[in-house]
Amino acid sequence: MKNFFKDHNNSCVLREWDFEHSNEITKNWNKEVPKYVQNFNKYTEDRNAVIYFALFVEYHINKTIEILFPDFDSLIGISKANISLKINILDSFKLLPKQIFESARCINNIRNEFAHEINIINLDDLDNLPNDRKNKTIGKLIQLTTDYEGDYKYEIIDESLRNRFKSLCMNTISALRIFEPSVRRLRNEKIEQ
């Protein structure tokens, strides 16, 4: 398995995260994140859980965009831009490892199925999608959680799609958070000078 947080293709600017700020990141993470995981776990229906965690991922995408574009609202508007556009904008900078954005796209594709298909209630229902949509959702989810190993591995406990989704979301959020100080430093050192 490949490490979720590393650039395996030597194609991004920030190949490693900033260990200097790890205590600050961990302190904030431990203060904020457990309540979101507990809320996710409370949902018995996957639709609510998926949409809830997808919003949590989008929140971190927004945060990263706002670091790079302090006045993003004057250009497009953080709340007006759809998540696909925001992911593509961040990905186009080639700052972070590509699997972070592949994961964010996968999470968004899964969220879209739940948000736009009334008959999809549980993640297992995605298995009934046409092959192209099935490949973008559960196929990609399984591939990413099989190929990459992050700090979260809920699928080891139970290989359910729900646990795979939870792992992918948590690793994506973790990656965005641990790279945040490096993105800030890059913005401060390179752009504002």
Q: Which pLDDT tens digit goes with each residue over 95-111?
A: 999 999 999 999 999 99
pLDDT confidence of residue 14? 84
82-93 exposure pattern, b = at least 16 Cβ within 10 A, e = fewer: ebeebbebbbee
pLDDT in tens, 5-45: 899 989 998 876 666 666 666 667 667 777 777 877 788 88
Which residue type sits at 44? T
DSSP 127: G
Which letter, b or e, does each residue of 101-129 get, where b requires 16 or more Cβ atoms within 10 Å of its Cβ? bbbbbbbbbbbbbbeeeeebebbebbeeb
Provide the Cα torsion 96, 102, 106, 109; round to 10°: 90
Q: Given this model, what pLDDT does residue 32 score?
A: 73
| 148 bridge partner residues | 2
Q: What is the mean pLDDT of residues 55-78?
A: 85
What does the pLDDT look like over 113-171, one tens digit per residue? Answer: 999 999 999 999 999 999 999 999 999 999 999 999 998 898 988 889 999 999 999 99
Confidence of residue 88 (pLDDT cuts 50, 70, 90): very high
Note the pLDDT of residue 73.
76
